[in-house]
Amino acid sequence: MINKIAYAEQVLSKIPAIPTNEREFKLRNQIIRDLESLHIVKNRADASITLLSTRIKFIEDQINLQKGNNNSN
């Protein structure tokens, strides 16, 4: 995902900020839309990773807590 974003940004940087013809205009707009979509997907993936990591940590803590309670008995 990061490579796709970097590539799209690299290509976008080579297109003039003010397009001189219709092809550049359409290409620039398409790349911008694609970048927005890629960023949304990346952000959702990052959020999922964070959520899963938090859940795993919680479960590990609960298991360790139960082990500690069982050793106390």
Spatial separation of the C-alpha atoms in residues 53 and 56, rounded to whole Å: 5
1: confidence class by pLDDT, cuts 50, 70, 90: confident
pLDDT at 24: 95
pLDDT at 72: 63
- Residue-range domain boundaries for the chain: 2-72
Angle between helices 2-14 and 22-72 (to 10 degrees): 160
Each residue of 13-41: pLDDT tens digit? 999 999 999 999 999 999 999 999 999 99
73: confidence class by pLDDT, cuts 50, 70, 90: low
